[in-house]
Amino acid sequence: MINAEAFIEVARGHGFSWYTGVPCSYLTPFINYVINDNQLSYISSANEGDAVATAAGLSLGGQSAVVMMQNSGLGNAVNPLTSLAHTFAVPVLLIVTHRGRPGERDEPQHELMGKITGNLFDLMDIPWEPFPAEEHAISAVLERATNYLAAESKPYALLMNRGTVAPHPLKSASIPSRSHAVCRRDRFDGAGGAVSREQALGEIIRHTPEDNSVVIGTTGYTGRELFAIADRSNQLYMVGSMGCASSFALGVSLARPDLEVTVVDGDGAGLMRMGNFATIGSYGRNNLAHVLLDNGVHESTGGQATVSANVGFADIAAACGYGVALDGNDPAVIRELYARKDADGARFAHLRIKPGIPGDLPRPGISPENVLRRLQAHINTPSL
């Protein structure tokens, strides 16, 4: 058994100061230690996949991050691990607890995952090894992990057994406090009806100068149209990992408070990982602008309807603690969003748009890894 301090301080020496995740009882000493230390940061994610995406965004912004979860949470994290971290080549260190370990008695829901956890890592092409159970082994384990992260820019996992870390008490407040009363909630309805995605993206581009901002477009037609309108070095086009653009953007905005970070979401993506609204509401700063373009359909897969017509996205953002929550069908929503940089927390705008795409819409002519490396160079982040 080791103390939380023994591992985390060696990890700090390797540059790890940010931790994201979903709790497991095996991880409680680690989480408590990080929260107690005001030089370390812990993001309590609503979902393990969002934790991976936030850590990936932190990594893009130049902050090494650790993702902590129990192995049952790997099911929630498979998509961002395989189609975000792998596809964009982003290094994150995973600490995963081994619930249901063969030969150990545990709850019935952990039995199958306990048997297949190692195989699942292998299938995802994620190298892994046991989490160190003795202090003398910590340095060598972290050396191997950080060498792989630096050389391959891909995730590396440590699998933690029961009783590996000694208890550590929680002494500090664990979650930032947000006052819903400070949220600015406005609606803008234009006389001309909903605008196109192209018009909305043009408005966003006009408010995101290349030298001091980052724009992240969600997967599907949003990223493709953003590329077609203006392929700028401050932009990233998400592929796969649907719904993770906002959690990724949260990580970038926390790592780089000097930059204005905009995430352009969609109604389908927002609905898929709505738990991240709560995480952004609690941890997001006013340098994060969250724009949700809502055409009411999953357009890139054939136009199947979403349930967005029945959802008050701005009301949800306000209830989750965003500093600004705007909605309507007029581009004035976006203009107001960028005018409110003095907000107390992240800013949100829900803009209803009409379905439809330009003819002959191209796909980005730059690979996901290269678009990330280009953005990394543009914002002067050291090599991942």
C-alpha 196/C-alpha 187 separation (Å) is 18
| pLDDT band at residue 297 using 50, 70 and 90 as cut-offs | confident
Whose tokens are 């890894």? That residue is 369
pLDDT in tens, 181-212: 567 878 888 766 789 999 999 999 999 999 99
pLDDT recorded at residue 181: 59
CB-side neighbour CA atoms (13 Å) of 220: 26
Structure tokens of 225? 């149209």
C-alpha 372/C-alpha 370 separation (Å) is 5
Residue 219 has pLDDT above 70, yes or no: yes
pLDDT recorded at residue 166: 95
pTM for this predicted structure: 0.95
| Residues in a beta bridge with 72 | none
What number of other Cβ atoms are within 10 A of residue 39's Cβ?
7
C-alpha 335/C-alpha 353 separation (Å) is 15
Q: Please state, rounded to an integer, the average pLDDT across all residues of the chain.
A: 94
pLDDT in tens, 116-171: 999 999 999 999 999 999 999 999 999 999 999 999 999 999 999 999 999 999 99
| Residues in a beta bridge with 236 | 216
